[in-house]
Amino acid sequence: MAKAELKTNKKTEIEDSSSLKGTLASVFFLGIFLVVTWLSVYFLFLDRF
């Protein structure tokens, strides 16, 4: 059972309270959203003009 113990320790103890992983992920999502909306209107433009 030594293996399982090692695992749980890792998950809870190492997560640093100053981590900004979620922030990084959030700004990536934001960036992707901006690109997707921009491209969709851009293709609408190409389609029309």
Partner 1 sequence: MSSQTTKLKVDPRDGKLAMAHFYVAFIALTLGGLMGLLQTLVRSGKFELPWGIDYYQILTVHGVLMGLVLTTFFIMGFQYAAISRTAGTHSPAARRIGWIGFWVMTVGTIMAATMVLLKEASVLYTFYAPLKAHWIFYLGMTFVVIGSWLDGAAQIMTYARWRRENPGKPSPLLSFMAIINTVMWIVASLGVAATVLFQLLPWSLGLVDTVDVLVSRTLFWYFGHPLVYFWLLPAYMCWYAIIPKIIGGKIFSDSLARLSFILFLLFSIPVGFHHQLTEPGIDPAWKFLQVILTFMVIIPSLMTAFSLFATFERFGRSKGATGLFGWFKVLPWKDARFTVPFIGMASFIPAGAGGIINASNQMNQVVHNTIWVTGHFHLTAATSVVLTFFGITFWLVPHLTGRVLTKAMNKLAIIQGWVWFIGMAFMSGAMHFQGLLGGPRRSAYSTYGDSAQAMEWIPYQIAQAVGGSILFLGIILMIIIFVNLAFFAPKGEEEFPVGEAENLDEKAPMIFENWKLWLGITAALILFAYTIPFIDMIQNAPPGSPGFKTWGSW
Interface positions with partner 1 (CB under 8 A): 12, 15, 17-23, 25-27, 30, 33-34, 37-38, 41-42, 44-45, 48-49
Q: In three state form, how does the secondary structure of the chain look?
A: CHHHHHHHHHHHHHCCCCCCHHHHHHHHHHHHHHHHHHHHHHHHHHHHC
Structural tokens at position 49: 């003009």
Cβ of residue 6: shortest distance to partner 1, in angstroms? 18
Whose Cβ is closer to partner 1: residue 5's or residue 17's? 17
Cβ of residue 3: shortest distance to partner 1, in angstroms? 22
